[in-house]
A and B are shown apart, each in its own frame.
Chain A
């Protein structure tokens, strides 16, 4: 399996994207941005449809553009209307998916393609995407650890962050931008529907066993990489779609950490009673 070029690309992509998503996921879950990332990933489907409409075979660029467009639309509407963020995102998500599906209905020859974008396609990961994912991991990983204190404080309490001289608005926009690009890059592997699970599940699994942020970040990356690599290999062995297999691997990790934390909790409780 490791000699096949497409598998090498898929495994490398998983190796680059899962730690990236796992790191961001810790902050995504704390800041309740899971729906934000879902909306952005669904928005890219309209980019795919438009790319095919124009006769482009590689929709990567329009996908990234549409993800940025969605993020900008969410943030703009949030600032310039009284609407709740949930409402804005539900509106944009359904709007962009509807637009995409109408366009696809005109493109009869591409109908089978929708499925590959919705659930991810191991064969679709190109060399360019692997390089882009690697660069993104290097840049975002470095930036995140460089600004970890700032990001942590903004997540814990924005007013305090302001008083400590952190440019809160700028950092929030930067985080949204990084999250958007990461989501857009992860879609070929994970699929539009499942991409936010790569952000949420590793963070949730690690949360069960962590007592501070450092443990949470390390654990989340561990769970992410483990489920990314094992899921990709399993999908090859079982000839199953890649995204769903990775998700199932991550969910297995989550269940395990839940059981372990439950057992540990019971032991602590027992100790407290006996004391």
Chain B
């Protein structure tokens, strides 16, 4: 008889991934990764380039096939049953310039009531979106084609897209990629706000340790395997980061320098 982990049994888990192995080409990107995320946490995946952060995120939702391991999302073993309750923001949306899907049409796809957007008036579509878009700063972008949006604007639209589905779990891949520095802070404030208001679980992949320091409650340092994990203060201040990043690491979290 297997003995259940007392912690896991007691806590409601958003993600329970064990022994995940992924092979991309000839390279074993993930070599047995365990990722346990209780509901309501903001968990950051950090690590150097090629550490498998993005791959781990993508393998969770079946975008990358795994060669071994078991994944349970939101208490479901069957990915198809969990997917409708998950929001995903990909690393960057490469928008085909020839495809002029407007932000309104794109967002309408996410809602059951507006999936027939072709036959609906803009007014009735916007009425279905609710006030959330205003808070996300997206409502002024609805008429623009996705291809015309700047990196930061597009990221907001993508967040809005995933939030419209009322997810319980939000997966963000390198959310500040392509966003300029002034835009970045507000973006993370946005994530924090969304997390507090919707009480959803957030897993984000990031290079930016200062951001991790501000927003995450728990950190996984990854480099093919989980090098270390723990509350932000512990992980970010120990030598364990060196394990993940190598020896010449400088976790720049701008502590009280300003």
Contact = CB atoms under 8 A, between A and B. Distances in A.
Interface of A: 29-31, 145, 148-149, 152-153, 155-157, 159-160, 162-165, 207, 210-214, 216-217
Contact of A156 (B62, B63, B93): B93
Contacts of A148: 118
B239 to A, nearest CB: 36
A6 to B, nearest CB: 36
A163 B86 contact: yes
Contact of B62 (A152, A153, A162): A162
A149 to B, nearest CB: 4
Nearest to B173: A159
A164 B110 CA distance: 8
Nearest to A212: B102
A149 B117 contact: yes
B109 A152 contact: yes
Closest A-B pairs by Cβ, 4 of them = A30-B99, A212-B102, A163-B88, A149-B109
A217 B119 CA distance: 12
Given A157-B90, A160-B161, A211 B98 contact: no
Contacts of A155: 96, 99, 101
B24 to A, nearest CB: 15
B8 interface: no
B95 interface: yes
B146 interface: yes
B187 interface: no
B98 A30 contact: yes
Contacts of A30: 96, 98-99
5 contacts: A31-B99, A152-B109, A159-B63, A164-B110, A212-B143
B88 A214 contact: no
B104 interface: yes
Contacts of B100: 207, 210-213, 216
Nearest to A214: B118
A145 B95 contact: no
Q: Which of A153, A163, A207, A214 has the most CB of B within 10 A?
A: A163
A149 B84 CA distance: 16
Contacts of A160: 88, 90, 93, 161
B115 interface: yes
Contacts of B104: 212
A162 B63 CA distance: 8
